[in-house]
Structure formats: C-alpha cells, structure tokens
Structure 1
Amino acid sequence: MHMPGPRAFWIDEPFDREHGADGRGRYEAEVVRRIDEFADTWGHIAPVTFAATAWRLASELSPGYVRWHRRIISATCLASPWDGSMTCAVSMISRWPAELTWTRQWQRDRGWRDWPQLFGQYTTPSDQDVTRSPHLRAVLQVEAPLPLDDLPPAPDGPDASVAPAARRAVTVLARELNELLAPMIGQLEAGVPADS
C-alpha cells in the first residue's frame, strides 16, 4: 500500500479560527485590515494579481495562514512580468549535491557543516558557529507556472466578497504548490536516489 508523502503546503484553518476575533478568523481580519493592498486588483479580468496579493497576506501572518514544510524557506506567488500568468518562486533546503558527497577530499579536514537543525527544524548557523567551522547550506530555487483554472475571479471592489475570495485563492494556490512540490520534498526527506 502506497503511503502519501509529506505535505509541502497546507492551510491552518483550526489555528486561524481559534485565534481570530469578532467572529472572524485571523486571515479574514487581516484581509479586511489591509483591504487597500487589493486596490489595484479590483475588476481584473484575470485573477492572478488578486490571488498573488491574497497569498502574500496569508504568508505574512505570523504564524502564517498558509503553512509549509520545514524544508521550505520562502514561497511567493506572483504575476509573470512576461505574460501575466501565475508563477511561483520557492526556496527549499536541500542536501549537498551528490558530487560533493561522493568523496570528502574537497573538505580538506576543515570540518564543513551542513544546515544546522534544532528540534528537527532547519536553522541558520549562528555567528559563533560560523567562526568555528565553514558551512555549506544547499538551497534549491524552484520557479514554475501555476494553473489559473480554479482561482476565483477578482472582486469588483472592497466588499464582503473579498475575504472569501482571498481565502479560496490561497487554498487553490496551496493545493497547486503542494501538488508541484510534495513529491520533491518526499524525495529530499527520503535521502536516497529515486528508482530509475
């Protein structure tokens, strides 16, 4: 039986509801509070700019309305300057490339270190750590298109439809990013070469 791999992205609805106020979740309150940031999106024929703004607000909450796997450093969704389509840029923590793990000769007994971990979370080496040994932290940069099919249309103006549309846009983007990146995260977590 095939077990599902790790999730790359998910929406934390329970936390959002539990920590909201006045009958609103945290994210809905943030959308209402920062409604002016959507001003350039009203009535757009394409949902991209609205969805990108919704994603940015969701990821700027602390903790985020949209959560991501411990290997993901950052994730942005934006309109492509080329044609206005939806694209993403995601930075992910990786293992060293195979070329550097095949042999340790290049290390020359300098004590090279990988990403530090604290309670299972990847961290940045402290200033003190860097004075003691060199660190090589591999990062993968993913840039890819995302489908627009299920994104909600951009609202016509600042009304009651904005928060539900923003929530729907973030949900769709999280699903698409998860579908794109979860297999890669699973492979990185497994730490072994994939079968041919």
Structure 2
Amino acid sequence: MPEPRAFWLDEHFDREHGTAGRGRYEAEVLARIDVFADTWGDIAPVGFAATAWRLATELSPGYVRWHRRIVSATCTRNAWDGGMACAVTVISRWPAELTWTKQWQRDRGWRDWPQLFGQYTTPTQQDLTRSPHLRAMLQVEAPVPLDDLPPAPDGPNSSVVPAARRAVAVLVRELNELLTPMIGQLEAGVRG
C-alpha cells in the first residue's frame, strides 16, 4: 500500500469552481496582487513563494490540500538567514509514556482526538462536559530547499500567476518529501 501524501494541489476543484475562465487560485492571486508588492524583483525567491503559499492555503477549501492529520502548515522567510522555513502541526497518537499504563488516567475517562467520518475534530463543548481530552500534536519546523523555486517576478505582470503556481507546486513537493514518511508511520502505527 502506498504512503499517504501529506500535501497535494487540488487542480480539479480549483478549475471547476473558478470564474471567468480562471481557476480560484489564479483569481485570488490577481485580486490580491498587492500582497506581493514587497517581493517584486527580490533576488531571493523566498518572500514571493511564502506569499504564494499563504494565498493557496487561505482559500476555502484550499488550493493546497493536506492529509487529515495535518492541522496547519505555513511557509515563511527565516529571519536568521533569509531561507525558507516551514512550520507544520501534525495530529499524533499519545506518547508511549502515556500508553503503557492507564494509572495516570485515574478512571477519569480520558479521550483522544474525536473523529467524524474519519476526520479528526475538536471536541465539542458537550464532549468536554463528559470527559477530559488529551489531543497530542507534533510541531514540525524545518528548512525547505530553495533550489527549484521560481525567481520573484519584477512586478505585477503576466509572469506572476505562473510563478505563484510553480512556487506552490515546489513547496508541496518539498513538504511531501519531508512529511509523507512521517504521516505514513503515524497512519500505520506501531507494529508489534
């Protein structure tokens, strides 16, 4: 069985729900072209790519989609060296230290992440009146290679949309390289 992808581009939904012959992402980039203003002509592609990523993930549903275990994913400029950094929050099982015994639970009925149709959800207020919840998450923070990111356009011209699409596609590929094995392991669990 192949590993589940951590991230993917939802090109089909984007095209099907676009307007005026444009996909939703293209329309969003053009409508919010001013958010790229600080990146025009930058010799590093990082600021442009980070802005393209933010727009792609702010759409609802996002142009970039992610695995059900991923809660959030940001790509930003690293303030220390100007490189690209990602921060991804991933739903996890309880740490082994809490699963080998239930003594710490003291018969309080601790619950893990609720699931609805296979999707992880936040406990409702009603759930929280019945039992305590411990929802484990992992915070992944890592550098992202810049090698294949497109250069930042010189200004608001016809190259912006293709460059934004390319930047987002490269970030999806790099984040998959980083996180797909982890997601696969979390889904598989511990084999004994």
- Within 2, Cα distance between the matches of 1:193 and 1:114? 20
Q: TM-score, normalised by structure 2?
A: 0.98
List per-residue Cα deviations over 1:64-100 (Å, max 9, x = no partner): 0000000000000000010100010000100000010
Q: Give distance in 2, aligned partners of 1:63 and 1:144.
A: 25
Q: Identify which of 134, 148, 151 aligns with 2:149.
A: 151
Q: Which one-letter code corresponds to 1:67 in the other structure?
A: R
| 1:1-196 equivalences in 2 (<5 Å) | 3-192=1-190
**Kindly, what percent of the aligned residue pairs are identical?**
82
- Matched residues in 1 for 2:60 and 2:20: separation? 19
Q: Deviations over 1:31-63 (max 9, x none)?
A: 000000000000000000000000000000000
Letter in 2 for 1:122: Y
Give RMSD over aligned pairs.
0.9
TM-score, with length taken from structure 1: 0.96
Which runs of 5 or more structure 2 residues have no equivalent in the other structure?
Answer: none
| SS of the residue 1:44 aligns to | coil
Amino acid at match of 1:140: L
Shift of 1:21: 1.1
**Shift of residue 4 of structure 1?**
2.2
Report the alpha carbon displacement of residue 22 of structure 1 after superposing the two structures with TM. 1.2
Runs of 5+ consecutive residues of structure 1 not aligned to the other structure: none
> 4+ residue runs of structure 1 moved beyond 4 angstroms?
none
